[in-house]
Amino acid sequence: MATAQAAIFNEMGQHQWYVHLSRDDGADLGAIKTAINDLISQCNEKNINLVLGFGPTLLADLGADMPNDFQSFETIVSTDGSGTEAKGTQEELLLWLNSPQKDDVWKAQYDARTALAGHMSVARETPTFIYGESLDMTGFIDGTGNPDPKDEPTVALVADGDPGAGGSFILAQRWVHDLDGWNEMSVEDQEKVFGRTKADSTKLETQEEYSHLAHVELREGQAADESTPKRNEIARRSTPYAFHDGTVGLYFMAFCREQAPFRERLDAMYGVNGEPRDRLTDFSNPASGSFYFAPSEEELGKILK
Give the nearer residue to ligand HEM in terms of CB position, either 101 or 134.
Answer: 134
- Distance, in Å, from the CA atom of 302 to the CA atom of 165, rounded to the nearest integer, reads 14
Q: Is 139 an interacting residue with respect to ligand HEM (CB under 6 A)? A: no
Q: Is 212 an interacting residue with respect to ligand HEM (CB under 6 A)? A: yes
CB of 259 to ligand HEM, least distance (A): 11
Closest CB to ligand HEM belongs to which residue? 145
Give the nearer residue to ligand HEM in terms of CB position, either 217 or 299.
Answer: 217
CA 102 to chain centre: 20
Q: Report the residue from 14, 57, 121, 201 that binds ligand HEM according to the rule CB under 6 A.
A: 201
Taking residue 86's Cβ as centre, other Cβ atoms within 10 Å add up to: 23
Give the nearer residue to ligand HEM in terms of CB position, either 31 or 88.
Answer: 88
Q: Which residues contact 108 (CB under 8 A, 6 or more apart)?
A: 39, 42, 43, 46, 48, 50, 97
Q: Report the residue from 17, 182, 251, 262 that binds ligand HEM according to the rule CB under 6 A.
A: 262
Give the nearer residue to ligand HEM in terms of CB position, either 34 or 134.
Answer: 134
Taking Cα atoms as reference points, which of 131, 133, 75, 146 lies closest to residue 248? Answer: 131
Q: Which of residues 78-137 bind ligand HEM (CB under 6 A)?
A: 136
Q: Is 142 an interacting residue with respect to ligand HEM (CB under 6 A)? A: yes
Query: Where are the extended beta strands (E) located within 80-149?
Result: 85-86, 93-99, 120-129
Q: Which of residues 167-186 bind ligand HEM (CB under 6 A)?
A: 175
- Distance, in Å, from the CA atom of 213 to the CA atom of 41, rounded to the nearest integer, reads 40
Cβ–Cβ under 8 Å, residues 86 and 285: yes
Give the nearer residue to ligand HEM in terms of CB position, either 54 or 182.
Answer: 182
Query: Where are the extended beta strands (E) located within 138-283?
Result: 168-177, 235-236, 239-242, 248-256
Using the contact rule CB under 6 A, the part of the chain among 25-33, 96-104, 117-125, 142-150 near ligand HEM is 142-150
Q: Is 293 an interacting residue with respect to ligand HEM (CB under 6 A)? A: no
CB of 71 to ligand HEM, least distance (A): 14
- Distance, in Å, from the CA atom of 157 to the CA atom of 169, rounded to the nearest integer, reads 8
| Single-letter code of the amino acid located at 53 | G
Contacts to ligand HEM by CB under 6 A: 136, 138, 140-145, 175, 194, 196, 201, 212-213, 216-217, 230, 234, 250, 252, 262, 265-266, 280, 284
